[in-house]
Chain A
Amino acid sequence: MKSNITNEERANLALSFDSILDKFIFWIVVISLLLFILYPVVMVISTSFFYRGTFTLDNYKNLLNSNNLKLIKDSLFVASISSILSTIFSFCIALFTFVERKKIKKLIYRALMLSMISPPFVSSLALIILFGRRGIITHNLLGLSVNPYGWQGIVLLQTLGGIPLSSIMLISALHSIDTRQILASRDLGATTTQTIKNIVIPAIFPTILSVLFLSFTMNLADFGTPIIIGGKFKMLATETYMTIFSSGDLGKAAAMSILLIPPAILSFVFYRKNITNIDNRATGTKALGSENYDFQLPIWLKFVLTFITVSFFIIVVLKYGSIILSAFSINTSGKLTFTLKHFEEVKFAYTPAFLRSIIFAVIAGFVSSVIGILLSYYTHRRKIKGMSFIEFVSALPYIIPGIFFGLGYIVGFNKEPLLLTGTTAIVILNSTFRHISVANKATNAAFTTIDTRIEDASRDLGASKFKTITNIIFPLLRPVFLTSFINTFTACMTTVGAIIFLVSPKNVVASIVMFKNITNGQYGPASVMASILILITVSVNLIAIKLLNTKEMY
């Protein structure tokens, strides 16, 4: 009897320490999201209510004029098409990967990881060089003189840009389907297509939704693509961005950016509703089965999937090829001359900028993945009240154009006690909190395929909540962690828009230097910087893949 009581007391003590730790982590997640996402967003929007210090609603009087309504309509149109297309193509690539041999799987997976690296402006430039009016492919090879400027161009670039992340999320999801379900379906006489329709698609439907929602919000807030390739076609994000630069009218621009929020809220509600529905349905599925089973696609399907996958990778190779080629060559009047001159121009003085880029991006990648996973855990596993609001907050930086998220940090953190402007911390914090949504959405999708009973078992066996997080949740979510780390790391290495206002002379990063080269028309050195950025990102991503040992993913 006696010893029983002491054991229980000890357990209670341990439990209370554990629940304090658990609460502590919970509040850190909540407070950090409120402070570093909601607060700056609210602050930048609040600038729309003031004109030189006095309250005014001027910016809202004409907000819903016919011009802006057309912008909203056009933006929704383009964002929907691009996100649907990129989801469809990603699904094809994911399915192709799923049924391929292990070696090829690995190859495609890594190639996708690498193709996420897409330095802004340089990629668009490369695509113009390939597909533009005088593009190497469209003009020189096919003899066409297509005009890529317009909504079709935006859709093309956004679709291509969305495929890597979407495919990776879908591949992870496909591999977490319980293979026994597929085997059972096949054993019961269902054809491969039937199995895909009845087993595979329903099982990864939450991930499809996550992917769709992510790419929709990203495309809606994307201003870089329409600026370069939009031509006459205008989108809301681009217009808000330009309102800042054309009239220098921060207030009006902030008011316009509010127009981006309702469609995003609607899509978020739709996403939430569907993902929770499925949450309840899928209770016990996690890949456990054997790997050797017969899953042959019909020839026509196989052909379509192969065609899509191969085409995508050809475009990727061409894109990188043209960047690397312009780093090593000079192209005058159609004559290519190889040279190392551009490398000489990229001085060693840039080394600190590269180092800073790496350090900032590694920190941002880790922290945002951890917070994103925890956020998902507290929202969907522990189902703590009010967390769905916090989850929406975490998606805000993807909904409003990056430039506002950057400006919000300046408006919000330029006074005591929150004086951060000009520091290194503000750059890292901004990069970190901008990308929480990816980790969060990827985790949500993964949770739907992970049996809650594994966690229950862990707790029944006496593990604390904290231990459950570190010993069960995180190891199970390793592929998610990896995807989200690589996404955030890659984005940080190449981002310009959000941090262009936050860097100070002391902490310039490589992407900003590269941006400067491009705006000065120095494409050679810019291509060198882009190539170095790509190399660094590839190496770090490969290290991350090694460290997190993703063998179990397949």
Chain B
Amino acid sequence: MNMKKFVAFLLIFTLSLSLVACGKSEQKESSDDSSTPVEETKDKPFEGTTLSVLLAYGGAENSFDKFTEETGIKVEYLEMSTGAALAKLQAEDGKTEADIWFGGGVDSYLNARDLGYLEAYKSPNASAINPQYNDKDGYYSGLALVPAGWIVNEDLLKEKGLEAPKTWEDLADPKYKGEVIMADPSISGTNYAIVSGLIQAWGEEKAWDYFERLNKNIDFFAKGGGEPLEKVAAGEFAIGIVAITGGTYSVGETSPTSVVYPEDVIPWTPAPIAIFKNTKNLEAAKVFVDWYLSKEGQEVLREADARIMARDDVDAPELMKDLDKSKLIDFNLELMGSQRDEILARWKELVGEK
């Protein structure tokens, strides 16, 4: 008999919960709105403000505490790949709750800019950054540089009696057949940047001829930029074409992998930062961008995740000392953005169903 009462109680409890849940959250929302600056001091004018960050920069969350300490601005973040974030922005029609977009694929930023979701802001600190990394109208700025390279599984190479490739040309050598994995460039922004970068570096003819040969070594294209790393770490493939960040190195702590930079040319993308047009905390968001583009902010961010920072006056992290910056491709991001459809169509024709 107790059972009946229990079930009846559950029924009523749950149904009412579903109603209460709606009411509760609205209350919560309104209380959030009132959390505008409480105290105004001179050096921390935005003390008490909370900025909401969409994050696609592994490890960067470790730098937020320092920022909060310096400025009094609190940071909440949500990790989301830039492709997913762009889909979300479209679904919300740009009315996002987030204030800042932090890191990720620059092609999504270009897209979002064209859809009118971003706020133009030229930080005074942006002048210290190579203009190649920034949007010319200030819709985004470059935080760091993400070079492309390879992650190799040493065990597998040893087992097959192979050496790690040294140049892109090596990678297309038939001896690596079936051992190379790369993400589909139509899905992964970084991998598209690699394709586009090589075209810009070598010219159309040479690049497409190369892709045709490289394609023969690739069994199938991964469905996400993070997958080649996983598969190489798991020993499924010997060589993965990846974007290199601190995270790429840390995989080596638990699996027999190491990071290799191509010796001929190194494609790259900037890890950008942008402010959303829909932000309600524009001034605080500007403080945020300024801080991360300052020398101090850049150094803090480098400690949080080892990357080559956008500012020239910030040294490369210890991990990446062996990266030869002169090998970086002279990369035109605008061209990369405008040629996307054309390049990907030709790419699809080349690789077919893979």
Contact = CB atoms under 8 A, between A and B. Distances in A.
Nearest to A32: B18
Contacts of A487: none
Contacts of B93: 414
B233 interface: yes
A245 interface: yes
Given A422-B97, A470-B4, A367 B17 contact: yes
B223 to A, nearest CB: 4
A420 interface: yes
Interface in B212-265: 219-220, 223-224, 226-227, 229-231, 233-237, 247-248, 250-251, 253-256
Interface stretch (A266-274, A330-338, A387-395): A330-338
B259 to A, nearest CB: 12
B7 A475 contact: yes
Interface in A355-395: 363, 366-367, 370
Given A134-B235, A521-B229, A549-B3, A367 B84 contact: no
Interface stretch (A10-18, A449-457, A498-506): A498-506
A370 B4 contact: no
B256 A333 contact: yes
Contacts of A521: 226, 229-230, 233, 247-248, 250-251
A370 B10 contact: yes
Contacts of A125: 230, 234
Residue with the greatest number of chain B CB neighbours at <10 A, chosen from A25, A420, A501, A524: A501
Contact of B24 (A414, A425, A549): A425
Contacts, number: 195
A474 interface: yes
B234 A132 contact: yes
Nearest to B80: A500
A423 B90 contact: no
Contacts of B235: 132-134
Contact of A508 (B78, B250, B256): B78
Contacts of B10: 366, 370
A129 interface: yes
Interface in A396-445: 407, 410-411, 414, 419-426, 428-429, 432
A62 to B, nearest CB: 14
B226 A519 contact: yes
Nearest to B237: A133
Nearest to A43: B91
Nearest to B56: A519
B353 A505 contact: no
A165 interface: no
Interface string B11-26: 1011101100110111
B339 to A, nearest CB: 14
A470 B97 contact: no
Interface stretch (A106-114, A227-235, A288-296, A534-542): A227-235
Interface in A191-246: 227-228, 230-232, 234, 238, 242, 244-246
Given A504-B78, A523-B233, A424 B92 contact: no
B78 A331 contact: no
A426 B91 CA distance: 15
Interface string B98-140: 0000000000100100000000000000000000000000000
B4 A410 contact: no
A255 interface: no
Interface residues of A, number: 76
B88 interface: yes
Q: Chain B interface residue count: which class?
A: 35 or more
Contacts of A523: 233, 251, 254
Contacts of A231: 219-220
Given A246-B184, A521-B230, A524-B254, A367 B97 contact: no
Given A332-B256, A521-B229, A521-B230, A470 B11 contact: yes
Contacts of B111: 248
B95 interface: yes
A523 B226 CA distance: 12
B52 A134 contact: no
Contacts of B223: 227-228, 230, 238, 242
Contacts of A147: 219
A28 B254 contact: no
Given A250-B91, A424-B21, A523-B233, A334 B155 contact: yes
Given A28-B15, A232-B219, A246 B247 contact: no
Interface string B63-92: 000000000000011111101101110111
Contact of A506 (B21, B76, B91, B219): B76
Interface of B: 3-4, 6-8, 10-11, 13-15, 17-18, 21-22, 24-26, 28-29, 52-53, 58-59, 76-81, 83-84, 86-88, 90-93, 95, 97, 108, 111, 154-156, 184, 186-187, 219-220, 223-224, 226-227, 229-231, 233-237, 247-248, 250-251, 253-256, 353-354
Rank and list the top 4 A-B pairs by shortest CB-CB distance, nearest first: A505-B76, A423-B25, A245-B83, A134-B235
Interface of A: 25, 28, 32, 44, 47, 125, 128-129, 132-134, 147, 149, 227-228, 230-232, 234, 238, 242, 244-248, 250, 330-334, 363, 366-367, 370, 407, 410-411, 414, 419-426, 428-429, 432, 469-471, 474-475, 478, 481, 500-501, 503-506, 508, 512, 516, 518-524, 547, 549
